[in-house]
C-alpha cells in the first residue's frame, strides 16, 4: 500500500511493506529518480529503528529498494520518498 501527498514542491509518497533479507525489498510505486526521505523498521512490539543509511534506490529499478547489511525479515518497513521530477 502506498499513499501520496501533494501540495509540497514535489509529491511525497509513503509505503508500508514487509521487511526481508539483505537485498531487494518490494516497494510499490518507488522508482529510480525518486529520493528516499526515510526508512524505518517496525517490529511487532512497535520498536522503531532508523534504516535510512542501509537503504537505496537501485539504478534503473521499479518498485524496489536495496537494503544493505541489514536483515529486516519478520518486521515492517515504513518507506517515505520524494517523487522524481
pLDDT score, position 2: 58
Whether the model pTM is above 0.85? yes
What pLDDT does 9 receive? 79
Per-residue pLDDT tens for 29-66? 999 999 999 999 999 888 999 999 999 999 998 999 99
DSSP class of 59: T
Residue 63 · residue 3 · CB < 8 Å? no
Instruction: Compute φ and ψ for 65, nearest 5 degrees.
Output: -120, 160
Quickly state the pLDDT bin for 5 (edges 50, 70, 90).
Answer: low
Residues spanned by the domain of 76: 2-82
Spatial CA neighbour of 80 closest among 1, 4, 14 = 14
Domain total for the chain?
1
Q: What is the mean pLDDT of residues 7-27?
A: 92
Q: How confident is the model at residue 69 (pLDDT cuts 50, 70, 90)?
A: very high
Which class for 61: exposed (0-12), middle (13-18), buried (19 or more C-beta within 10 A)? middle
Whether residue 58 contacts residue 66, with contact meaning beta carbons closer than 8 Å, is answered with yes
Amino acid at each position: 500500500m502506498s499513499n501520496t501527498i501533494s501540495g509540497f514542491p514535489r509529491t511525497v509518497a509513503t509505503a508500508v511493506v514487509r521487511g526481508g533479507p539483505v537485498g531487494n525489498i518490494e516497494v510499490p510505486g518507488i522508482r529510480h529518480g525518486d529520493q528516499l526521505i526515510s526508512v524505518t523498521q517496525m517490529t511487532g512490539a512497535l520498536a522503531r529503528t532508523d534504516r535510512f543509511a542501509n537503504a537505496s534506490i537501485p539504478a534503473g529499478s521499479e518498485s524496489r529498494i536495496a537494503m544493505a547489511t541489514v536483515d529486516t525479515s519478520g518486521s515492517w518497513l515504513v518507506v517515505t520518498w520524494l517523487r522524481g521530477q
